[in-house]
Amino acid sequence: MNTRTYAPTPTRRVAFLGLGVMGYPMAGHLARAGHSVTVYNRTTSKSIAWCTEYTGATSQNATLNPAATPRQAAAGAELVFCCVGNDDDLRSVVLGADGAFAGMAPGAVLVDHTTASANVARELYATAQAQGLHFVDAPVSGGQAGAQNGALTVMCGGDLAAFEAAQPVAMAFAKAFTYLGESGAGQLAKMVNQICIAGLVQGLAEAIAFGDKAGLDMNLVLDVIGKGAAQSWQMDNRGKTMVAGKFDFGFAVDWMRKDLGLVLDEAKRNGARLPATALIDQFYADVQQMGGRRWDTSSLIKRLK
C-alpha cells in the first residue's frame, strides 16, 4: 500500500517515457499526485498494464492513457519525463519523426532521468533549443527502492527556468531535486555519485572478507562500526546482506558497468585520474564472468570469497 503524501501542486498534463524498474513507479507517483499522465513503453502491453494499475489511484479529474509512440505521448504535455537505458535508447525516444520532440509544443520541457553521457545531454539540449523546447538532464540516485518510495535524489543540468518549471511536479517521486548548473551538469554529478559508490562497496567488501578470515562475527562488527566513522548507506543497507551472500537488491552489475564506462570515458576527456575506479570496474567485469550480471552491486564481495 502506498503511504507517500504529496505536496499540493497544480495538476498538469505530463508524459512519461520508459516504464522500466525505475520509470514504472516514478510515473505512478505522478498519477497519485493528481496529474494527467500519458505513458509510453516499447512494450505497449506494459503501458496498458500501468494505466490499469493506477487508474484507481489518481484524482477524479485526471486521465491516464497509453501511447503508441513517444510523439503521441508528448503531444499536449507541459512536461515530458523520460527514463530509459542509455544514450542510444534516449535518442530513439526523443529524436526522429516519432520522437518526443516532434510531439512537444513550443516551451514544453523534457526532463531526462536516464543515466547517460554528458555529451548526449548537451546534444539534446541544443536540439531542444533550436526547436523552441527545453531539455533538463536529471539522472537519479536511490535505486529501485527510492523510485518505489518516492524518495529519489535528482541531479539536474540545463536552464534554471526549465528546472524551476519541472521541480514542483518531480517532487512527487523525489526527496531532492537540485539544480547544479548548465546542460550536462546533472550527468556529471551522477558520475561523481557512481565513483563514490564503487569505492564504498569495494571497501566494504574487503572489510567483510577480512573480518570473516579473522574469525569475527561480522554482523556484530557491522553493528559496532556502523555507529562510528566507517558508517555509510552501503554499510547500513548492504553490509549484512553481503555477509549473508544475498545479492538481489536492485541496481545490477551490468548497469554499474555501463555507468562506470561513462565515468571513465569522461575522465579521458577531462583528464581526471581515476585509478581505483578503473580497477573496480574490472572487478565488476570479473563478477559478470562469474555469472553475476544481474546481481546487485554489493556482489563485489563474491570475488573475495
Lowest mean pLDDT among 10-14, 173-177, 235-239, 297-301: 10-14
Q: E strands within 167-284?
A: 174-181
> Do 166 and 259 belong together in one domain?
no
Q: Which cell numbers hold the place of 202?
A: 569495494
DSSP secondary structure letters along 139-193: -EESHHHHHHHT-EEEEEES-HHHHHHHHHHHTTTEEEEEEEESTTHHHHHHHHH
Model confidence at 44: pLDDT above 90: yes
Domain assignment present for 4: no
Angle at 31 between CA 248 and CA 19, to 5 degrees: 40
Catalytic-labelled residue, pool 175, 190, 240, 258: 190
16 to each of 3, 94, 305, how far by Cα in Å?
22, 12, 42
Q: Decide if 1 is inside a domain.
A: no
Q: What is the pLDDT of residue 203?
A: 98
Residue 278's H or E segment, with its range, is: helix 275-289
Q: Are residues 148 and 32 in the same domain?
A: yes
Which domain, by its residues, includes 51? 13-182
- Residue 81, amino acid: F
14 in Cβ contact with 30 (< 8 Å): yes
Q: Which amino acid is at 63?
A: T
Task: Among 182, 202, 236, identify where a domain stops.
Answer: 182
Q: What CATH number is associated with residue 113?
A: 3.40.50.720
The total number of structural domains in the chain stands at 2
pTM of the model: 0.94
- Domain closes at, from 154, 182, 210: 182
pLDDT mean over 108-132: 98
Say yes or no: 178 and 193 in one domain: no
Supply the pLDDT for residue 7: 78
Domain boundary among 149, 182, 215: 182
pLDDT of 1: 53
Establish if 256 belongs to a structural domain.
yes
Strands 140-141 and 152-157: antiparallel
CA distance 197 to 166: 27
Q: Are strands 109-112 and 152-157 parallel, antiparallel or unpaired?
A: unpaired
Mean per-residue pLDDT over the chain, rounded: 96
Are 195 and 223 members of one domain?
yes
Q: Is 8 part of any domain?
A: no
Q: Which of 290, 201, 292 is nearest to 253 (CA)?
A: 292
* CATH of residue 275: 1.10.1040.10
Each residue of 256-300: pLDDT tens digit?
Answer: 999 999 999 999 999 999 999 999 999 999 999 999 999 999 999
In tens, the pLDDT along 151-196 reads: 999 999 999 999 999 999 999 999 999 999 999 999 999 999 999 9
Query: Is residue 3 a part of any domain in this protein?
Result: no
Task: Give yes or no: 190 in active site.
Answer: yes
* Rounded (10°) angle between helices 253-270 and 185-213: 120
> Is residue 2 situated within a structural domain?
no
pLDDT per position as a tens digit, 21-43: 999 999 999 999 999 999 999 99
User: Does a structural domain hold residue 6?
Assistant: no
Asked if residue 107 and residue 64 are part of one domain, the reply reads: yes
Are residue 75 and residue 214 in the same domain, yes or no?
no
pLDDT tops 90 at residue 53: yes
